[in-house]
A and B are shown apart, each in its own frame.
Chain A
Amino acid sequence: MRYSQFLTQTALKHQTVSYNLLTPKPAEGDPTALIPKKIKVTPMRAAELVGPYTYVRLMDQIKAVVPLAAYLMLFQILVLRQPIDSVVSLCVGLVAVIVGLAVFMEGLNVGLMPFGTIIGDNLPKKASMPVVLIIIGILGVGVTFAEPAIGALQAFGASVDVNKAPYLWVLLNVYPLPLVLMVGAGVGLAAILGTIRFVRGWSLKPMIYLALIPVVALTLYCWPDPTLRSILGLAWDCGAVTTGPVTVPLVLSLGIGIASAAGKGDSSLSGFGVVTMASLFPILAVLILGIFVSLTLTPEQVVAIAANAASAGATVETTVWDETPLAEIVLGVRAILPLVLFLMFVLFIVLKSSLPNRMVTIYGLTLSILGMCIFNVGLSYGLGAIGAQAGSTLPAAFMEIPISKYSPIYPEIIGFVIVIGFAWLLGFGATLAEPALNALGLTVQKLTNGAFKKSMLMYSVAGGVSVGIALGVAKLVFSLDLMTLLLPLYGVGVLMTVFSTEEFVNVAWDSAGVTTGPVTVPLVLAMGLGLGNAVSAIEGFGILSLASICPIVAVLTMGLFIQFRQKSAVSTPA
C-alpha cells in the first residue's frame, strides 16, 4: 500500500511519552521491584495475538492440501465424469487434515523439538557412546510410531484380498504392531549408523552399497515365490513412509548435537545420509518379518485365519472404542505417548536435567497429541477417502467398470494416456508443493556454491517423483511386476552413485525421503490401493517405492551432468 493511501485512510496522531515513566524504579526495602512484572493479557489483546498466529499456521497446511484435493476432485468430475461420493464427510475430513496437521506441526515445534535439542546437546557429555547409541536406536522406534503417515499403512490393510495375497494380509491385519515395530527398528538402526557416521566422518557411498546388498538378496529370495512376492510392494513402500516430519528433524537434531559434541560437526554435509539409511533399513526389516511369517504359516492357514476373523467379526459387537472418533483418538495417543515418555525418561532420569519452560512444553505436547487425533480422523474420512475414490474411478477412462455408467469413457489407448498423465501431473504438483523440498533446495544451493541451483533440484526431484508415480500407476494398470521395474532402477542408481561425487550422492539419496510427506503418502497409497482393487491387481503397493528411486536417479543424472559441464568448462581454454 502506498503512503498516500495510508494518509487518506488513517488519521495518524502523535504523542510523545518519556520512557523513564515506563521502566521499573528501585524501591526502598523491595528487592524485587526492579524485576519486570508478569504481563496480564486481556481477552482483546489475546485475540489480536492468537489471530495471526493461527492464520499463518493454517495457511501453510491449506497450501499443501487444497490444491491436491481440488485437482483430484476436478479430475474425477470433469475427465472421469463421475460424481463425488459423500461430499460432506469428505470436506469435513479434509478440514480435519488441515487443522490436524497445523496443530500437530505446531505441537512438534513447541513441544517435541526442544527435547531433541536439549538431549542432543547434553547426552554425549553425560553418557558413554554405547548408551547414546542405544537411546538413539530406541528413539528411532518411537519417532516411527509418531509419524503421521504410518497410520495410513495400518488404515488401508483391510482392503487387501486375503486369497490373492495371503502374507500381505497377515502383515497388515494380524501383525500391524510388529510391522510398525520392525519398521521402527529399521529406522532406529539407521539412526545409530547415521550417528556413527557423523562422528567418524564415513562416506555415504559404501553404506548405500552395504545396505542394498541384503535388501536385494532378500528381495530376490521372495521374488520367485508367488505368495511372498505380494509383500515386496509393501516392504519397499515402507521405506518411503518412514521419513516424515517427525523422524527427520528429531533424528537430525540429535545427530548434529552429538556430532558437534564430538567435534566433527563442521562438515555441512553431516546432516545428510540419515534419511537415506532410514529409508533403506525398514525395507530390510519388513522383508525379514514377511519371511518369518511365511516360515511359520502356510497360505492355507492364513486363509483359514481370515475366514475365522471374518465370521468372528460378524458376531462380535463393535465396542465404543472401535468407533469414530474414539478409535482415532486412541490411535493418536498411542502414537505420541511412547515417544514423549521415552524422551522424558532420558531427560529427567538419564540426564537429570529439566525443561527450561515447562508450561510451554506441556502445551506443545498436548497440541501434538490433539493434532495427531484430528489428523487421524481426517486421514480416514478426507485424504484416504478422496484418494480411494479417485483410484477406483480411474480405470473408467479405459475399461468398463460397474460404478461408472459412462465407462469406458475414452478409447483404450487414450484412456491409458489420460490415466498415466493424471498420475504424472499429480506427482509433479504434490512434490513441488512440499515445503521440505524447498528447504532442501536452498541447502543444496548453498552447499554447491550455486552450481546446483535450487530450482534445478526442485524440478529434477519433482520430475523424478512424477515419473515414479506414473510408472507405479502403469504397473497397476498393466499388472507389471514391481521388481522388474525397481531393481533395474536401483541398479542404475548404484552405478551412477559410483561415478558421482560425495556431495551429490548425499543430496540425491536424501531427496527421495524428503518428498514423501504426510499429505502425499496417504493420498498416493489410497489411490494405489483403490486403483489396484478396481483393475483387480493383486496389491496396490509399490507406487511410493517407485516414487522414491526415480528422483534419486534424476538428481544423480543432474549431478553427473553438472560435473561433466564443469570439467569440460575447465578443459576448454576460454
Chain B
Amino acid sequence: MAERNITYLSEASMITCVLQTGLAEAVLDAAHNCGAQGATISYGRGTGIRERMGLMGVTIDEQKEVIRIIVSEEQADRVFEAMYLAGKLDTPGKGIMFMTKLDRVATFIPEDVLQKIA
C-alpha cells in the first residue's frame, strides 16, 4: 500500500472581498504585490444598499466580483490594507471585505519547500 501524506498549514486566514464588476483587477494586483500567493474570483449579485438609495442606486453595478485569498497570519494585515486601499473601499458603493481565521489549510506543497523550512 502506497503511503500518502497530508501537510496541514496552520496560522492561515482568508480574505474575502466583494466588489463591483470591473474593480477586481486593481485589487488583485495590490494583493499579489504584497505577497498573496493566489486568488479565486467568482461572480455574484449583490443587494441591499442599492435598493435603499432610490435612483442613486443605478450608479452601483448589481453584478459583483468576489475575490477570495488565503493568506498567512504574518501577511494578513498587510494584504488586507493594500486591497482596501487599491479597491478604494473608503469611497461609497465600491464594495465590502472581511477576514476570517482558518482552522487548517491543505494543498500540494513541493518537497523542496518543506525541506527548506524543516
B51-108 interface (Cβ within 8 A of A):
51-60, 78, 81-82, 85-86, 91-93
Task: Digitize B1-43: 1 where CB-to-A-CB distance is under 8 Å, 0 elsewhere.
Answer: 0000000000000000000001000000010011000000000
Q: A3-B30, A3-B33, A12-B81 are in contact. Are A49 and B55 (CB under 8 A)?
A: no
Q: Is the beta-carbon distance between B60 and A49 smaller than 8 angstroms?
A: yes
- Report the Cα distance A12→B56, complex, angstroms: 29
A1-52 interface (Cβ within 8 A of B):
1-3, 6, 10, 12, 36-39, 41, 45-46, 48-50
- Report the Cα distance A541→B40, complex, angstroms: 51
Q: Is the beta-carbon distance between B56 and A41 smaller than 8 angstroms?
A: yes
| Residue in contact with B59 in the complex, picked from A6, A50, A364, CB distance below 8 Å | A50
Q: Is the beta-carbon distance between A39 and B52 smaller than 8 angstroms?
A: yes
Q: How far is the CB of A566 from chain B (nearest CB, A)?
A: 32
Task: Digitize A352-366: 1 where CB-to-B-CB distance is under 8 Å, 0 elsewhere.
Answer: 000001011001100
Q: Is the beta-carbon distance between A49 and B30 smaller than 8 angstroms?
A: no
Q: Is the beta-carbon distance between B85 and A10 smaller than 8 angstroms?
A: yes
Kindly list chain A residues whose C-beta atoms are within 8 Å of the C-beta of B55. 359-360, 363
Kindly list chain A residues whose C-beta atoms are within 8 Å of the C-beta of B59. 49-50, 53
Q: How far is the CB of B51 from chain A (nearest CB, A)?
A: 8
- Report the Cα distance A53→B91, complex, angstroms: 13
Closest B residue by C-beta to A37:
B52
Closest A residue by C-beta to B77:
A14
Q: Is the beta-carbon distance between B86 and A49 smaller than 8 angstroms?
A: no
A110 at the interface (CB under 8 A from B): yes
Kindly list chain B residues whose C-beta atoms are within 8 Å of the C-beta of A360. 55, 57-58
Interface size grouping (class) on chain B = 20 to 34
A56 at the interface (CB under 8 A from B): yes
Kindly list chain B residues whose C-beta atoms are within 8 Å of the C-beta of A6. 81-82, 85
Kindly list chain A residues whose C-beta atoms are within 8 Å of the C-beta of B93. 48-49
A322-367 interface (Cβ within 8 A of B):
357, 359-360, 363-364
Q: Is the beta-carbon distance between B52 and A1 smaller than 8 angstroms?
A: no
- Report the Cα distance A46→B58, complex, angstroms: 11
- Report the Cα distance A6→B52, complex, angstroms: 33
- Report the Cα distance A3→B78, complex, angstroms: 8
B113 at the interface (CB under 8 A from A): no
| Residue in contact with B54 in the complex, picked from A1, A38, A45, CB distance below 8 Å | A38
* Secondary structure call for the A interface: helix
B117 at the interface (CB under 8 A from A): no
B49 at the interface (CB under 8 A from A): yes
* Secondary structure call for the B interface: helix
Closest B residue by C-beta to A42:
B92
Q: How far is the CB of A106 from chain B (nearest CB, A)?
A: 8
How many residues of A are in contact with the other chain, CB < 8 A? 24
- Report the Cα distance A252→B18, complex, angstroms: 30
Closest B residue by C-beta to A41:
B56
Closest A residue by C-beta to B52:
A39
Task: Digitize A477-500: 1 where CB-to-B-CB distance is under 8 Å, 0 elsewhere.
Answer: 000000000000000000000000
Kindly list chain A residues whose C-beta atoms are within 8 Å of the C-beta of B78. 3
Interface hub of B56, B78, B86 (most chain A Cβ within 10 A): B56
Kindly list chain A residues whose C-beta atoms are within 8 Å of the C-beta of B49. 39
Q: Is the beta-carbon distance between A2 and B33 smaller than 8 angstroms?
A: yes
Q: A12-B81, A48-B91, A110-B58 are in contact. Are A1 and B30 (CB under 8 A)?
A: yes
- Report the Cα distance A159→B80, complex, angstroms: 62
Closest B residue by C-beta to A12:
B81
Kindly list chain B residues whose C-beta atoms are within 8 Å of the C-beta of A37. 52
Q: Is the beta-carbon distance between A38 and B56 smaller than 8 angstroms?
A: no
Q: Is the beta-carbon distance between B56 and A46 smaller than 8 angstroms?
A: yes
Kindly list chain A residues whose C-beta atoms are within 8 Å of the C-beta of B30. 1, 3
Q: How far is the CB of A299 from chain B (nearest CB, A)?
A: 54
Q: Is the beta-carbon distance between A3 and B34 smaller than 8 angstroms?
A: yes
Closest A residue by C-beta to B53:
A39
Kindly list chain A residues whose C-beta atoms are within 8 Å of the C-beta of B22. 56
Kindly list chain B residues whose C-beta atoms are within 8 Å of the C-beta of A46. 56
- Report the Cα distance A39→B93, complex, angstroms: 12
- Report the Cα distance A364→B49, complex, angstroms: 19
Closest A residue by C-beta to B23:
A52
Q: How far is the CB of A373 from chain B (nearest CB, A)?
A: 20
A-B CB contact pairs (8 Å), 13 listed: A1-B86, A2-B33, A3-B30, A6-B85, A12-B85, A38-B53, A38-B54, A41-B53, A41-B92, A49-B93, A53-B58, A53-B60, A110-B58
Residues of A within 8 A of B (CB): 1-3, 6, 10, 12, 36-39, 41, 45-46, 48-50, 53, 56, 110, 357, 359-360, 363-364
